[in-house]
Structure 1
């Protein structure tokens, strides 16, 4: 069969049914030949991964406790394994490491097939937009995989930490090439190369649904986050500037209007992810249960973002802006008899395989990059460079739309607030957590300013999986706690400190069996 013959429509179903015997590349049976830039563009729709790690990473993070009540149970063994930081053996659910690995490497395969076709085409010059999109999608898929399966990037350790295979050529015989993981430093360099080259070639890109593709704005937002994680703060600011433009206030989310939309059904979540919202830069529709499990339904209530976390650390606790639940523009949803506290950001819809039989696949749409989150990236990068007044200005700009009462912070007010807040302990939780980074933070202004940025971002991005990256990047110690119905901590059952091997989630067993080096565990508990 022609090497340029690729599937478009059946990729999504193939992800859920792919054999564990395959290694990196996943090849479906129904294929479509690539002959033109239009064909390549259509196929690149499948270069955006059919999976997202939010459910896995929210379970893994400090946004989740074990809720001890007879009627509350785990949704599945996967949910429990993720919460307990175990090496996950479940493979069939949509958000498992196996499925995330398959989804993202399938996206990489699509990119490589398109780039291979273009390299052999006589009219290469006509494909500049498709080359750019393919490289950006490949970089994004590998960045997402790195955020799940690798340690956080740090210059002092990246040359030793394990990276991931970065295929750049299609395989004639999938599963027969023995890959090496390389280092995290090498992985980041290859992501950066694709990201840089993709950005440079986007000038002619045109899309019928631009919010679901890498536009120039989306590519710059991706670059801003990448360079923040890569600790290249000046570049993070440069790309955040390009994302936000000269008047970012006009593109931030209208949180006040959104917070007034209806809470029933998918009304508020659909309003959050609308492509017409200027704040939404890149959207991604994926198969996931998380849109339903994250809200106050009974399923999956044993491991949840419960009242204790909500009232002492996140949605309902105090910040330097005041009482979050009263001051900020959202409504916390909760039902009596259910352990979950949430805000409505993720729609939950079924794509039916058999409507008569009621058989379907649950889907949600994620806001992958937004102007609000990019503004917080810029604020953090400025704070880390010692540009405190500029970081404060960005923080206040976000609060100008995210708060109900026109809150405006000062550096002194932030310092005073966090001086009055003790560092978190699992038995006496607060939103202030010890930050362990190299070099150490300046204590008087920088540390409290970053506490405010991290606290606000934790709220802004709740349910989206990004909190886990902040935990890894800042060496925040997190705990497993069992909490009773009176919100009393019954037991602290585990903790994960900076550089704990389990911060790099274990790669799937099938690729370990194919002789890819597993993540080290060094005697840490895995079950």
Structure 2
């Protein structure tokens, strides 16, 4: 049961927040003794509450809808997996991990915790300069988590923002705590949702202060993570000038410290161990890892759902423009089922309900923002702005830390030849680089969920093979099923308009 908080106007029941699915009931709340509830009456308690403002739901399930996977034999395929693979509306409820409903429910729950803190913060005492700075830092974290939660929701449950979709329905942007038993909500326009996200993001950035995170700073919205969020936000919005600005604020004049060197002895030694590699890859000690989040999920399991087929996986990493080099992202990889592989990016973890219990919660630590993503955002923005030389300089740094063997050298001629477009004037230098950066993004983020957003941003079609591994189904470029369906409980009880099908 979710904790309840003794707020300024008495005991307020917090009924969050799946827009129809309640976490508790008024009778449950009233049956609790006051000693079992938390008085949100000081900055320390407000700060502790914000640890719940980070959604524990993973969006890596979107890879099962993407062009990264094919029909996988020998794994546990639940009905929800089959529905997502076929781009059908998922019919399971909000309690099953790695589903759209679970993501919706869990993320609005996280947003609710941020709103609880923001609602009471002005009334909490802050008498010293240090306390005032800490209050600002708490406000910053609450604003940034609220913005991030809504940002991911609108990019999953609404159209990608563009000139033609900004007036389309987005999601509810929730800024106040729940004070009614069952509330009704409206889907604000995509334009309005993005405006609200931007306001929270920029206000949070202005107040961010890393001094109060001590040794756990990588698990909070620190300054670098906030800048990375701004970089992604403006890239998705198509504001490439601002994306460049915030990317450069993080990366500075020498981005190398924010890029993992997978060709290094440290990473190559770790690649022989399926335990050591994910520990290193997600380590909070790496400067490239900007924000870490615990995710309650099974995507890290090798006996679960769909994965990249072996032939596709080998082709993806084996086909590249640099002769006599090896893409170090290919290995290590788990064998998944009978015919798939899965790159080792997550450590499969399990929290037992009690010391001697075999029941508990599977989870992994995900890297929500990385320096690599910011560099790739910067490169894509420079390409969009036709700053091609600047893009090539950053690409050179990136590939040097991904490809071992003969030194990889990025040139337009080499990339044009790689795509088989020699002598084709309609395939401009800008298009050559854009196609290549999207390929590198696909490799970098495989199994982590970001490919789906590139598919939406660029209107890519997706094909999936069926169980006979011959027949195929297809998701067209403008298929409305690229927008996840609003959970049925949010439609039935919360009054939200479902997405068209």
With normalisation by structure 1, the TM-score equals: 0.84
> What secondary structure is seen at the aligned counterpart in 1 of 2:365?
strand
Task: Give, in whole Å, the separation in 1 of the partners of 2:383 and 2:368.
Answer: 23
Give the equivalent residue in structure 2 for 1:146: 154
- Find out whether 1:42 has 2:48 as its counterpart: yes
Give the equivalent residue in structure 1 for 2:142: 134
Give the equivalent residue in structure 2 for 1:65: 70
- Find out whether 1:351 has 2:351 as its counterpart: yes
> What secondary structure is seen at the aligned counterpart in 2 of 1:260?
helix
Give the equivalent residue in structure 2 for 1:341: 341
Task: Give, in whole Å, the separation in 1 of the partners of 2:9 and 2:21.
Answer: 19
Task: Give, in whole Å, the separation in 2 of the partners of 1:442 and 1:146.
Answer: 35
Give the equivalent residue in structure 1 for 2:499: 519
Cα deviation digits, residues 466-518 of structure 1 (max 9, x gap): 0000000001111121376xxxx5111x2112231111100111001122111
Q: Does structure 1 conserve the Cα–Cα contact (< 8 Å) formed by 2:274 and 2:344?
A: no
Task: Give, in whole Å, the separation in 2 of the partners of 1:353 and 1:214.
Answer: 28
Give the equivalent residue in structure 2 for 1:414: 415
Q: CA shift at 1:332, angstroms?
A: 4.6
Task: Give, in whole Å, the separation in 2 of the partners of 1:57 and 1:298.
Answer: 17
My pick for the range that moved more, 264-273 or 42-51, is 264-273
Aligned length: 475
Q: CA shift at 1:103, angstroms?
A: 1.1
Distance 1:59 1:123, change over 3 A: same
Q: CA shift at 1:357, angstroms?
A: 3.7
Q: CA shift at 1:392, angstroms?
A: 1.2
Give the equivalent residue in structure 2 for 1:246: 253
Give the equivalent residue in structure 2 for 1:173: 180
1:280 aligned residue (279, 289, 304): 289
Q: Does structure 2 conserve the Cα–Cα contact (< 8 Å) formed by 1:26 and 1:109?
A: no
Task: Give, in whole Å, the separation in 1 of the partners of 2:42 and 2:247.
Answer: 34
Give the equivalent residue in structure 2 for 1:429: none
Cα deviation digits, residues 156-180 of structure 1 (max 9, x gap): 3212x2200011111211422x211
Q: CA shift at 1:155, angstroms?
A: 2.1
Distance 1:323 1:101, change over 3 A: farther
Distance 1:472 1:2, change over 3 A: same
Task: Give, in whole Å, the separation in 2 of the partners of 1:443 and 1:287.
Answer: 44
Task: Give, in whole Å, the separation in 1 of the partners of 2:252 and 2:437.
Answer: 21
Q: CA shift at 1:315, angstroms?
A: 2.7
Q: Does structure 1 conserve the Cα–Cα contact (< 8 Å) formed by 2:64 and 2:84?
A: yes
Give the equivalent residue in structure 2 for 1:22: 21
Give the equivalent residue in structure 2 for 1:428: none
Task: Give, in whole Å, the separation in 1 of the partners of 2:139 and 2:453.
Answer: 29
Give the equivalent residue in structure 2 for 1:201: 207
Give the equivalent residue in structure 1 for 2:192: 186
1:290 aligned residue (282, 299, 317): 299
Alignment of 1:67-146 (within 5 A): 67=72, 72-91=74-93, 92-121=95-124, 123=126, 125=132, 127-146=135-154
Q: What CA RMSD, in Å, does the superposition of the two structures yield over aligned residues? A: 2.8
**Unaligned segments of structure 1, at least 5 residues:** 422-440, 522-527
Q: Does structure 2 conserve the Cα–Cα contact (< 8 Å) formed by 1:291 and 1:348?
A: yes
Q: CA shift at 1:51, angstroms?
A: 1.0
**Unaligned segments of structure 2, at least 5 residues:** 30-35
Task: Give, in whole Å, the separation in 2 of the partners of 1:194 and 1:19.
Answer: 22
My pick for the range that moved more, 167-176 or 261-270, is 261-270
Cα deviation digits, residues 185-214 of structure 1 (max 9, x gap): 111111111001100111465202110111
Task: Give, in whole Å, the separation in 2 of the partners of 1:216 and 1:26.
Answer: 38
Q: CA shift at 1:320, angstroms?
A: 2.1
Distance 1:259 1:417, change over 3 A: same
Distance 1:376 1:4, change over 3 A: farther
Q: Does structure 2 conserve the Cα–Cα contact (< 8 Å) formed by 1:26 and 1:102?
A: no
Task: Give, in whole Å, the separation in 2 of the partners of 1:26 and 1:394.
Answer: 54
Q: CA shift at 1:137, angstroms?
A: 0.4
